[in-house]
A and B are shown apart, each in its own frame.
Chain A
């Protein structure tokens, strides 16, 4: 499990419009490309010798599975913001303002009243 690496994915995708569009349209290919082009790099010269996704993390990201990500401690703010970027416009057009955010809350409803998975690392 690498919460940090998952969060790094959410963070670096969310801040770049080209990566956001790519992740919306082809999440599986985007995750693979990200690992090569972004994830491994600390700066343009230095790269990690040890950070990588588990198979479950890669699959969750490749399937836009924000419920799994919440349940495994991805940071709630990053997890919300990026998936708003992916789905808010489409949901709002079809069902009105905040429709995506409301659906996300419903999909996580089984956590109401319980301690949420920790985002601490």
Chain B
């Protein structure tokens, strides 16, 4: 059977490419720190030695449209073009051509249907920055075949947080049962608290740093009960109108499994949003853990969960929101 060697859940930030490839004197002040963290994170994937990448993202109205909008969709192609004109225009992201793993796409689609997850399918899917951003950050060689999965985080009514988690659990079972000797890594991107096109966009910090603190703790400890008890479509909207991308991170946690602690956790306050980089090794090897430890040293990241009680979050707590002593 195939081996799932890594699960990566991260934010995707379309500014990263330009920020880190522009001439030095045109780079923003946060670019060097950002690049150091991203390149360290990349090592956590490299150590998993993947042959195939199952990639989870969400189309941002680049191809999928309101005349016919799927809740969950899988691509089933030998090749995928990537990056739309308006992403080149706005973010300077280059075009890519990625190979597809048709065999795993077909198996994934059929097995999802067997498990009663009725995915839509595309045979002419063009990939947008929700999947190209992680290619740029963690596999810039763009040399591995992918199986792309898109979710609806944009067009209400959305699937429930529970459903995203369940889809993740199903994908895990399907990868584990895939009759192949290949190593598979699952990489999904979404968001912590995020505001786009509203009054809280591009502020000094992300719209809700304390949501981010909870989210990182819940994800990195696999605390599905806390997520299902606290996260609703309405609560996510309260944390920022585009925060529903958190559900793609939740899906990835579903692939890793309930109660499973992440092996690498990092985050970065990028003024208007918070970046997060998380890796689980489902079948931990010493080499993988050593790679995570080295990466963590470079990035000043953690090799285990980061809790909401971490001192890093203190600056965002007012007296009103501080937890009671002894709580």
- Would you call the interface of chain B mostly helix, strand, loop, or mixed? loop
Q: Given contacts A108-B198, A111-B199, A121-B66, could you give 7 more A-B pairs where the C-beta distance is less than 8 Å? A: A15-B84, A17-B89, A75-B154, A81-B90, A101-B202, A102-B202, A105-B202
Q: Shortest CB–CB separation between residue B34 and chain A, in angstroms?
A: 15
Please tell me if the beta carbons of A15 and B197 are within 8 angstroms of each other in the complex: no
Q: A112 vs B203: C-alpha distance in the bound complex, in angstroms?
A: 12
Q: State whether A8 touches B66 (Cβ < 8 A).
A: yes
Contact with A along B62-74 (1 / 0, CB 8 A): 1001110000000
**Given A17-B85, A75-B154: A112 and B66 within 8 A (CB)?**
no
Given A4-B66, A11-B65, A76 contacting B196 (CB threshold 8 A): yes
Chain B, Cβ-Cβ closest to A82: B86
Q: In the complex, which residues of chain B have a beta carbon less than 8 angstroms from the beta carbon of A104?
A: 197, 201
Residues of A participating in the B interface, judged by any CB pair closer than 8 Å: 4, 7-8, 11, 14-17, 20, 42, 70, 75-81, 84-85, 88, 97-98, 101-102, 104-106, 108-112, 115-116, 118-121
Partner of B61 from A11, A105, A111, A120 at Cβ < 8 Å: A11
B198 interface neighbour in A7, A76, A85, Cβ under 8 Å: A76
Q: How far is the CA of A45 from the CA of B126 in the complex (A)?
A: 24
Among residues of A, the one whose C-beta sits closest to the C-beta of B202 is A101
In the complex, what residue of chain A is closest to B158 when comparing beta carbons? A120
**Number of residues of chain B lying within 8 A (CB) of chain A:** 27
Q: Does B115 contact A (CB under 8 A)?
A: no
Asked whether any CB of chain A lies closer than 8 Å to the CB of B186, the reply is no
Could you tell me if B241 and A116 are in contact, using CB atoms closer than 8 angstroms? Answer: yes
Q: In whole Å, how far is A61's beta carbon from the nearest beta carbon of chain B?
A: 16
For the residues of A in contact with B, the DSSP-based class is: helix
Q: How far is the CA of A70 from the CA of B237 in the complex (A)?
A: 15
Alpha-carbon gap, A12 to B56, bound state (A): 25
- Does B28 lie at the interface of the complex (its beta carbon under 8 Å from any beta carbon of A)? yes
Query: A118–B156 contact, CB under 8 A?
Result: yes
Among B61, B85, B199, contact of A78 (Cβ-Cβ < 8 Å):
B61
Bound CA span A20–B90, Å:
12
> Would you mind naming 20 contact pairs between A and B with Cβ atoms under 8 Å apart?
A7-B66, A8-B66, A11-B65, A14-B86, A17-B85, A20-B89, A75-B61, A75-B154, A76-B241, A77-B197, A81-B61, A85-B86, A104-B197, A105-B202, A108-B199, A112-B199, A112-B200, A116-B241, A118-B156, A119-B156
Within 8 A of A (CB), among B39-88: 60-62, 65-67, 84-86
Q: Which of A8, A85, A98 contacts B202 (CB 8 A)?
A: A98
In the assembly, what is the distance between CA of A101 and CA of B65, in Å? 24
**In the complex, residue of chain B having the shortest beta-carbon distance to the beta carbon of A109:** B199
Interfacial chain A residues near B198, Cβ < 8 Å? 70, 76, 105, 108, 111, 116
